[in-house]
Structure 1
Amino acid sequence: MTDHEHTRGAGGDHAARLRASFTAQAATFEEPSLNAAFTAGLAWLVEAAAPEPSDRCLDLAAGTGLVGRALAPHVAHVTCIDTTPAMVERGRAAAATAGLTNVEFVLADAVDATVPAGSIDVAVTRFSLHHVPDPRGLLRAMLAACRPGGRLVVHDLASSADPAIAARQDAIETWRDDSHLRAPVLGEVAELLRGLGAAVDRTDQRSYTRPLEPWLAQSLTSSERADRVRSAFAEELAGGVPTGFGPEQRDDGVWFTQTWELTAAHRP
């Protein structure tokens, strides 16, 4: 099996691999010196969600509930759902420290019906689709949770429309964190949402350039896998195979660029 085939697959042990990966990463998930990228763009998502004081919100595959906690001061209630106990525990502690009394954390699979159908005004998910075997199922769960007129916001990595480059991007992401499966291609989330019956309101893209070494450190990538990522970037810098990440050699090390896509929609 090639690395690309591994990322496109969803073996039976993926749930365990995902939980193990994010249990290990719980302590570094919001560490600014390692993962400034994760806190970047929060205002972008909050603005797209257009929160109102009476809104009931759902943050699916929430991790530590960073997005849900960002929404909480603007809305009536937020339910954050994640499948990794360590992430849920961190989120609860952070919400308590911040004095957020309107945020609830639920340990469950994101596609389970843990909130009543049609009970949510705003459903969000961020940096999750590339980890789940069934992205369509997660989007379907978001849509089912929303009331008619309810809003959905999806913020995730986006891979190249060139299949060869997308395969290289997925392989590198998987070397870094083997819970990665497949990043959506640019425009794919909007297409999936339309196929599920949602009305897409906007699709925006941004580029985020970040240093390589903190990215590897945050995910606690093994030295062998980290060296594979470094080698792929070094090869491109030497004029070799493009990675899709546009690596740059700077005074403080190698930097690279990811493409992020935000898709906002509503339930008709």
Structure 2
Amino acid sequence: MDSKKDVKHQFGKSADSYVSSAIHKDGKDLQKLVQLATFTGEEDLLDIATGGGHTANAFAPLLKKVTALDLTPEMLKAAEKFIRANGHLNVDFIIGDAENLPFSDGVFDIVTCRIAPHHFPNVNKFVQEVHRVLKPSGQFLLDDNVVPEDDDYDLFYNTIEKWRDYSHFRAWKKSEWLHMLEVNGFEVHEIHRFEKTFQYESWCNRMNLPENEKDKLSNYIQNSSQKVKEKFRVSIANDQVISFQGEAVIMKALKR
């Protein structure tokens, strides 16, 4: 399977669990994303890889129109059910690819993308597409898990994410995001780093990881170097991983 088929397969069967996932539904990053946006209420917003629809849902009551886009039909249906149940009628739902957006140039005031780019095989093309569909001086609000600059930490985090979820492509370093945004015509105005605690059981179960793989992955984490376990605040009890800590960033960039 190619990586985009992997994404559709994984998220097709996990759609409802993403709508109800606490880390997606209640994350403080969602409030921060809304705070960082500048708007009058007349804007058109595109939410790329909308997933459970939480970002689109948060912005819908504040803006004129929101377009929620996702590659996975089942995910889009789950997002629509969730958003419509909250009474928001100004949201359109469109199936589409983040790296080949089905929109004309310069049509959106704001583009958001939350906890998704680590699934994109060509993230540079995604950034170029965001730039293309934004109006001049349009805002790009990016929110995703990142890896530390140290290569050992990078390898560890991307290894365990790929193990848990074969549709994971890569979590990027903060420096890599800065580079990609700036070389593709954006000016980065704000960066906020925050920590995320992952509860091992629910983290694995969200991707329907089989029990034997869960155990193998737990062993891999426990057998990692002390340096890695300290960095990721790995919590272990009764020979089982209980939780670990990752990091994410929100970046606000303007099209130039």
Q: Same fold (TM over 0.5)?
A: yes
Contact 2:49 2:113 (8 Å CA) reproduced: yes
Match of 2:234 among 241, 247, 257: 247
Other-structure match for 2:111: 123
Q: How many Å apart are 1:95 and its aligned residue?
A: 1.8
Match of 1:23 among 12, 16, 21: 12
Task: Provide Cα deviations, 1:121-148, integer angstroms capped at 9, x if missing partner.
Answer: 1001111111010011111111111111
Distance 1:22 1:113 in 2: 19
Please identify runs of 4+ aligned residues in structure 1 that moved more than 6 A: 250-253
TM-score, length of structure 2 as denominator length: 0.92
Other-structure match for 1:229: 217
Distance 1:178 1:186 in 2: 23
Other-structure match for 2:199: 211
Partner SS for 2:243: strand
Other-structure match for 1:36: 22
Distance 2:227 2:14 in 1: 30
Q: How many Å apart are 1:94 and its aligned residue?
A: 1.4
1:192–1:253 CA distance, 2 compared to 1 (3 A): closer
Other-structure match for 1:60: 48
| Residue 98 (str. 1) matches residue 86 (str. 2) | yes
Among all aligned residue pairs of Structure 1 and Structure 2, give the percentage whose two residues are the same amino acid.
23
Distance 1:235 1:223 in 2: 18
Partner SS for 2:155: helix
Other-structure match for 1:9: none
Other-structure match for 1:7: none
| Residue 172 (str. 1) matches residue 160 (str. 2) | yes
Give the paired residue count: 252
Q: How many Å apart are 1:115 and its aligned residue?
A: 2.1
Unmatched segments (≥5 aa) in structure 1: 1-11
Partner SS for 2:17: coil
Q: How many Å apart are 1:191 and its aligned residue?
A: 1.4
Partner SS for 1:27: helix
Distance 1:265 1:60 in 2: 15
Contact 1:124 1:142 (8 Å CA) reproduced: no
Contact 2:7 2:167 (8 Å CA) reproduced: yes
Other-structure match for 2:96: 108
TM-score, length of structure 1 as denominator length: 0.88
In structure 2, give the amino acid aligned to 1:76.
K
Match of 2:59 among 50, 65, 71: 71
Contact 1:235 1:241 (8 Å CA) reproduced: no
Q: How many Å apart are 1:240 and its aligned residue?
A: 4.6
In structure 1, give the amino acid aligned to 2:12.
T
Contact 2:44 2:109 (8 Å CA) reproduced: yes
Distance 1:51 1:253 in 2: 43
* Between 212-221 and 249-258, the greater mean CA deviation after superposition: 249-258
